[in-house]
Structures are given as structure tokens and as C-alpha cells.
Amino acid sequence: MSLEGLLLYFFAGGALLGGVLMLVARHPMRVALALIGSMLSLAGIYAVLGVHVIAVFQVLIYVGAVMVFMVYVIMLLDVRDPSFLERYSGALLPSVALAAAIAVALGAALGRGSIAAAPGLADPQGPAPAAAFEVQPFSVEFLEQYWLHFELTSVLLLAAVVAAIAVIKAGWRRDG
């Protein structure tokens, strides 16, 4: 097996391990660290696939912004919260059964080959199409074809900022 394949298996295992640790860890900070590990493994997978732009964004936006924000909030909260001590809600077994059923259904669709054999998929064993995903082609395509979507996301971010301020202000008013 090539080095690329080994790395792919390594990072895939890391991502799954992080996901499992998220379910069993008790303290939210450990859950956050497991999620960060999972996200970094996913960034490694993207890098192995040759999609370097997405790998960098995964680290910058998810790990650098979203998870740092999350860790910050966890540190703000009271650690004597009872929800930190008791992990699972009452619906543990039905929930696990439902999630397992969904996983089996999706896996069956994958196993029938209806997804992987879809038309248009390149040879999956072939080399990664790295040239198409470098920064320059990505940026040119992005700003030439998808500039409207780019501008729309800025509107969305502005709306999110306004909504966050509105939520905080509503909280202030109620507290007096």
C-alpha cells in the first residue's frame, strides 16, 4: 500500500476515534478536544486528497475560529453544572438503535454501489487531481463564477452578527 493510502487510513481512524470519544467523554472540554482532533484528522484527509484549499479552511475556520469560540464558552460556564456529571439522557437505547439503523441504511446504499458507480466519477484509485484544487484555479473559479454566492455569504454573515447582537440585547433587557 502506498504512503498516501496509509495516511488516508490513519486520518480516517483518527476522525472516527475522535467521534467515538465525543460520545463517551464526560466533561465538555474533553468533548471539544475530541472534536478538534476529529476535525484535524479530516483536514489531513483533505490534504491527502489534494484539496489543499479546503484543508486550510478546515483548520482556519473550524479549528481556529469555531472551536476556539466553543472552548472559550466552555471555560465561561460553571463546572458544577449537573449536566456535566450525568452524560446520557433517558432515551439512550432507542437513540443508539435509530442512529445505527440510519447508518446501516446509508451503508447499504453505499454497498449496492449506486453511489460509487455514479456516472462522472473519475477512477477512484487514480492519482489525486491535485492541479484542479490549487489556490489559484480555485480562487479564479470562485470569483469569476460564484461571485454572487460569495457576496450572499457576506450578507448572511452580517445577518448573523445582527442576530447575535439582538439575542444578547434581549438577554440584557430581561436581566434589567
Partner 1 sequence: MDRTQLLLTVSIALFSLGLTGVMIRRNALVMLMCMELMLNGVILSLVTFAAATATLSGAVLVFLVFVVAAAEIAIAIPIVLLLSRQRRTLDVGAYSGLKG
> For residues 8-47, which are near partner 1 according to CB under 8 A?
8-9, 12, 15-16, 19-20, 22-23, 28, 31-32, 35, 38-39, 42, 45-46
Residues that bind partner 1 (rule: CB under 8 A) add up to a total of: 89
Contact between 170 and partner 1 per CB under 8 A: yes
Which uninterrupted H or E stretch holds 111? helix 92-111
Residue (3 or 125) nearer to partner 1, CB = 125
**168 contacts partner 1 (rule: CB under 8 A):** yes
Q: Is 75 in the site for partner 1 (CB under 8 A)?
A: no
| Closest approach of partner 1 to the CB of residue 75, in Å | 11
- Residue 79 binds partner 1, judged by CB under 8 A: no
Residues 131-150 that bind partner 1 (CB under 8 A): 132-133, 137-138, 141-142, 145-146, 149
Angle 5-12-96 (CA atoms, 0-180°, nearest 5)? Answer: 145
Map residue 86 onto helix, strand or coil.
coil
Q: What is the DSSP string of 112-162?
A: TTTTTT-TT---TTS---GGGGSHHHHHHHHHHHSHHHHHHHHHHHHHHHH
**Cα(176)–Cα(164) distance, rounded to whole angstroms?**
19
